[in-house]
Amino acid sequence: MFGEVPRAMAQDTPLISGGIGFFTSTNGGNTSYIPTISPVLAAPLGDSVLVESRANLLEDFFPGPSGYNTTHFVGLSYLQLDYIATSHLTIVAGYFLTPFGTYNERLSAIWIGNFQDGPLILPIGTGSTGSSSGVMIRGSAVSTTNFSIDYAAYFSGNSTNEQFRSTRATGGRVSIYLPKQGLEVGTSYARSLATVQTNSYGMHLWWEPIGTPFRLRSEYAHAAHAAGYWIETDYRLSRLRGEESVVGRIEPIFRWQQVFRNHPDPTDGLPSVDTKQVEFGLDYRLPHEIRILTSYGRQITPVGDRNIWQTGLVYRFLFPAWKGKS
């Protein structure tokens, strides 16, 4: 796995990582082109502190009445200072990804997610930006050979700053992981402390059987005016001639999701009507950290159905930010 890593003393040199991608999305017959770069910076300070940040820069070329229009977006996903206080406690301050469910923290990076778009219920518990400004505590409560429990709890203030937009809220997540079964279950909670105070609840289940390339991930979330779930599976064909073979680099993917509306709410970022969406795709992992993403989806709503075709090419990079110790 790490055959090319030179054997030398591990160091704490700051690093730059991230992904560069070019995506296309044909939604209801209209095709958009979206070149994106998402760099990550991680810089350790002393033995217990880490400063880390992830930015997103993208240009969206989309069809208009008189040819293609373009919009651009530059923003931060997080800019945070982590203080590793004890073996089981890390204190995070700054602008961080809101710990609700699993997608936002684990799968939203462009070089990780199987699909170009996040799930429809992503705004539940994470808001419109997916990030919070304030303080978070997190860590591993228990870690044994049979199970581990991790936790995260946060408080976020209201921020209208363009780069650090967030709302006043609190919440957290607890997960238990059974390594022998490859099973993780967890629950999340968020309470909006804005003028109208509302609660959001979530549950997640991941199953990744040991010794197989199969992965199943799923989440359910409930908010004041809507609820929904998604189930995603992938299965890399590495059993056929190994991971590095032409066939073994193919990864069929599948996602099914539903949103149920109980009340109209134009502010919550969720579909305005009951929605079902099924997606099939094939990802292909080329050598040198390049990945091809393709998917076809069908969105079904009471006001009409539509097809969603998406393709993407993503390159993941990782290198030291400057010279290390000799």
Partner 1 sequence: MSTERRLLWLFGGVMLVVFLAAAEPGAARRAQSTREAKNTKTNGQQNEGEKKFQQNCSRCHNAPESFSPRIAGTIVRHMRVRASLSKQDAEAILHFLNP
Restricting to residues 234-253, name those near partner 1 by CB under 8 A. Answer: 235, 239
Kindly tell me which of 222 and 316 has the beta carbon lying closer to partner 1: 316
Please say whether the dihedral angle defined by the alpha carbons of residues 152, 157, 162 and 164, taken in this order, is positive or negative: negative
Report the SS3 class of residue 286: strand
Residue 59 engages partner 1 in binding (rule: CB under 8 A) = no
- How far apart CA 176 and CA 187 sit, in angstroms, is 9
Residue 296, interface with partner 1 (CB under 8 A)? no
Binders in 213-232 for partner 1, by CB under 8 A: 214-215
Residue 4 neighbours by CB under 8 Å, 6+ apart: none
In this complex, which beta carbon is closest to partner 1, that of residue 14 or of residue 157?
Answer: 14
Interface segment toward partner 1; rule CB under 8 A; list 69-77, 139-147, 154-162, 164-172: 139-147
- Please, are residues 270 and 243 in contact by the beta-carbon 8 Å criterion? no
Name the nearest CA neighbour of 207 among 232, 173, 241, 238.
Answer: 232
d(CA 152, CA 190): 12
Rounded (10°) CA dihedral 120, 126, 131, 136: -150
Return d(Cα 222, Cα 153) in angstroms, integer.
19
Tell me the two tokens of residue 224: 């004041």
Using the rule CB under 8 A, which residue among 209, 241, 246, 307 binds partner 1?
Answer: 209
- DSSP assignments along 183-196, one per residue: EEEEEEEEEE-SSS
d(CA 293, CA 110): 10
Q: Which among 28-36, 68-76, 119-127, 209-217 is the span making contact with partner 1, rule CB under 8 A?
A: 209-217
306 contacts partner 1 (rule: CB under 8 A): no
196 binds partner 1 (CB under 8 A): no
Instruction: Between 211 and 266, name the residue whose CB sits nearer to partner 1.
Output: 211
Query: Between residue 3 and residue 32, which ones bind partner 1 under the rule CB under 8 A?
Result: 3-15
Enumerate residues 141-170 that contact partner 1 by CB under 8 A: 143, 148, 150-152
**233 binds partner 1, rule: CB under 8 A:** yes
Q: Tell me how far, at minimum, the Cβ of 224 lies from partner 1, in Å.
A: 27
> Minimum Å distance from CB 312 to partner 1?
16
CB of 81 to partner 1, least distance (A): 10
Q: Which of 84, 93, 246, 273 binds partner 1 (CB under 8 A)?
A: 84
The alpha-carbon radius of gyration of the chain (Å, integer) is 20
Instruction: Please give the Cα distance from 120 to 103 (Å, whole number).
Output: 11
Instruction: Determine the interface stretch with partner 1 among 67-75, 156-164, 210-218, 266-274 (rule: CB under 8 A).
Output: 210-218
- Residue closer to partner 1, measured from CB, 17 or 167: 17
Any idea what the Cα angle at residue 244 is, between residues 242 and 245, rounded to 5°? Answer: 70
Is residue 309 close enough to count as binding partner 1 by CB under 8 A? no
By CB under 8 A, the residues from 115 to 134 that bind partner 1 are: none
Question: Is 42 one of the binding residues for partner 1 (CB under 8 A)?
Answer: yes
**Given the rule CB under 8 A, which of 31-39, 66-74, 103-111, 154-162 is the region that contacts partner 1?**
103-111
Q: Which whole-number Å values give the CA distances from 153 to 79, 92, 196, 199, in the listed order?
A: 18, 10, 21, 15
